[in-house]
């Protein structure tokens, strides 16, 4: 029983290590892109935001 538990723990650690290796670049990219809430309100983003706000009020 101890051997089965040891094998299971080792397999779980390997899966966790593989998942963290695959998710780290995605998390870093998401963190670098998340610089604020909502759309960036400059240029076309501002025009889109104002247009959507006006349509929702009418």
Query: Tell me: the pLDDT tens digits for 15-29?
Result: 999 999 999 989 888
Q: How many domains does the chain have?
A: 1
Instruction: For the chain, give the mean pLDDT.
Output: 84
Is the Cβ–Cβ distance between 39 and 48 less than 8 Å? yes
* Angle (nearest 5°) at CA 55 between 51 and 57: 120
CA dihedral 7, 9, 14, 15 (to 10 degrees): 110
Q: What is the 3-state secondary structure (H, E, C) of 31-49?
A: HHHCCCCCCCCCCHHHHHH
Range with the poorest average pLDDT among 13-17, 37-41, 53-57: 37-41
Tell me which residue range forms the domain holding 23. 2-57
């Amino acid at each position: 029983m101890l051997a089965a538990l040891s094998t299971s723990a080792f397999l779980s650690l390997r899966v966790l290590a593989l998942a963290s290796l695959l998710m780290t670049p995605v998390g870093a990219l998401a963190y670098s892109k998340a610089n604020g809430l909502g759309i960036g309100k400059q240029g076309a983003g501002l025009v889109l935001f104002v247009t959507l706000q006006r349509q929702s009020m009418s």
